[in-house]
Chain A
Amino acid sequence: MMRAVILAAPSVDALDNPALSALLGLIVITLIMTLGVMFATWYERKAVARMQQRLGPMRVGPWGLLQPIADTLKLVSKEGVRPASADRIAWDLSLAAIFVPAFLVLVAIPFTADWFVSPMDLSLLYILAVGGLSFIGFLLAGWGSDNKYALLGGMRAAAQLISYEIPMILSMLAVVMVVGSADVYRIILYQDVVPLIVWQPLAFIIFLTATIAELERQPFDIPTGESEVAGGVFIEYSGIRWSLFQLTGYVNMYAYSLLGAFVFLGGWEWPFGTDIGWGYQLLLTMVKMALFIVFFLWVRTSFPRLRVDQLMSYAWKVLLPFALAQIFLNGLVLVYDLPDVVLLATSGGGALALCWLVYSVVRVKPRQPLRMVGNVPATAPGSVSG
Chain B
Amino acid sequence: MVAEQRPDLETIDMPINMGPQHPSTHGVFRMVLVVSGEKVVDVTPHIGYMHRGGEKLMETMDFRQGIGYADRTEYLAQFSAELGYVLAVERLMGVEVPERAEYIRVILTELNRLTSHFMFAGAFGIDSGLFGTSMMFAFREREFIQDLFEEISGDRLMYAYFRVGGLAWEVTDNFVQRCHESLKTAERGIRDIDDLLTHNEIFMGRCQNIGAFTAQQAIAYGLSGPMLRASGVPFDLRKDEPYSVYPRLKFDIPVGNYGDVYDRFLVRIEEMRQSVKIVEQALEQLPPEGPIVAEKLPRRLRTPPGEVYAKVESPRGEWGVYLISKGGDKPYRLKMRSPSFCNLTALREMTIGQFLADAVMVLGSMDIVLCDVDR
Residues of A within 8 A of B (CB): 48, 51-54, 148-149, 152, 218-219, 221-222, 225-230, 300-310, 358-359, 361-362, 367-368, 370-374, 376, 378-386
Name the distance in Å between A9's Cβ and chain B's nearest Cβ.
38
Interface string of B166-178 (1 = CB under 8 A from A): 0000000000000
B24 at interface, CB cutoff 8 A: yes
B253 within 8 A of A: yes
Q: How far is the CA of A52 from the CA of B134 in the complex (A)?
A: 8
Q: CB of B127 within 8 A of chain A? A: yes
Q: Chain A contacts of B202 at CB under 8 A?
A: 219, 303-306
Smallest CB–CB gap between B38 and chain A, Å? 5
B204 at interface by CB-CB < 8 Å: yes
In angstroms, how far is the closest chain B Cβ from the Cβ of A53?
A: 6
Report A-chain residues with C-beta under 8 Å of the C-beta of B245. Answer: 384
Question: In whole angstroms, what is the CA distance A267 to B247 when docked?
Answer: 67
Contacts of B131 in A (CB 8 A): 48, 218, 300-301
A301 to B, closest residue via Cβ: B133
Give the complex CA separation of A218 and B234 in angstroms: 37
- The complex places the Cα of A227 from the Cα of B359 at a distance, in Å, of 11
Contact B357 A225 (CB under 8 A): yes
Q: How far is the CA of A219 from the CA of B356 in the complex (A)?
A: 17
Could you tell me the distance in whole angstroms from the C-beta of B136 to the nearest C-beta in chain A?
Answer: 4
| A362 and B201 contacting across the interface, CB-CB below 8 Å | yes
Q: Is B52 an interface residue (CB 8 A)?
A: no
Q: Tell me which of B90, B102, B239, B254 contacts A370 (CB under 8 A).
A: B254
Chain B neighbourhood of A307, CB < 8 A: 205-206, 355, 357-358
* Chain A contacts for B203, CB-based, 8 A: 304
The contact size tier of chain B is 35 or more
Complex CA gap A306/B206 in Å reads 7
A148 to B18, CA, bound (A): 10
Whether A371 and B97, one on each chain, are in contact in the complex, defined by CB atoms closer than 8 angstroms, is no
Do A374 and B252 contact each other (CB < 8 Å), given the known contacts A227-B126, A308-B355, A384-B102?
A: yes
| Cβ-based interface call for B65 (8 A) | no
| Chain B residue contacts of A372, Cβ below 8 A | 252-255, 270
Could you tell me which B residues sit within 8 Å of A by CB distance? 14, 16-17, 22-24, 35, 38, 87, 90-91, 96-97, 99, 102, 125-133, 136-137, 140, 196-197, 200-206, 208, 232, 234, 236, 239-245, 247-248, 250-258, 262-263, 266-267, 270, 355-358, 360
Taking the nearest CB of chain B, how far is it from the CB of A325, in angstroms?
22
Q: Quick check: A384 and B97 within 8 Å, CB to CB?
A: yes
Residues on B with C-beta less than 8 A from A221 are 129
Taking CB atoms, residues of chain B closer than 8 Å to A226 are: 23-24, 126, 129
Q: How far is the CB of A50 from chain B (nearest CB, A)?
A: 11
Q: Give the complex CA separation of A29 and B279 in angstroms.
A: 61
Q: Are A367 and B129 in contact (CB under 8 A)?
A: no
B102 touches A385 (CB 8 A): yes
Asked if B125 and A304 sit within 8 Å, CB to CB, the answer is yes
Given A228-B24, A370-B266, A380-B242, decide whether A304 and B197 contact each other with a Cβ distance below 8 A.
Answer: yes
Which chain B positions have C-beta within 8 A of A52? 132-133, 136-137
Could you tell me the distance in whole angstroms from the C-beta of A374 to the nearest C-beta in chain B?
A: 4
In the complex, chain B residues whose CB is within 8 Å of the CB of A367: 208, 257-258, 262
Contact A225 B129 (CB under 8 A): yes
A148 cross-chain contacts in B, Cβ below 8 A = 14, 16-17
B106 to A: closest C-beta gap in Å: 11
In the complex, are the beta carbons of B16 and A149 less than 8 A apart? yes
Given contacts A228-B356, A373-B254, A374-B251, 11 further A-B pairs with CB under 8 A are A54-B136, A148-B14, A149-B16, A219-B202, A304-B203, A362-B204, A373-B234, A373-B255, A376-B234, A376-B236, A378-B239
Contact partner of B355 (CB less than 8 A), chosen from A149, A309, A368, A385, is A309
Q: Of the candidates A48, A149, A305, A359, which one forms a contact with B201 in the assembled complex, judged by CB atoms under 8 Å apart?
A: A359
**A307 to B129 alpha-carbon distance, docked (Å):** 10
Q: How far is the CA of A381 from the CA of B266 in the complex (A)?
A: 29
Query: What are the residues of chain B within 8 A of A302 when measuring CB–CB?
Result: 130, 133, 196
For the complex, give the distance between the alpha carbons of A378 and B127 in Å: 37
Q: How distant is the Cα of A307 from the Cα of B205 in the complex, in angstroms?
A: 8
Chain B contacts for A305, CB-based, 8 A: 128-130, 202, 206, 357
Q: A362-B205, A370-B254, A382-B248 are in contact. Are A53 and B137 (CB under 8 A)?
A: yes
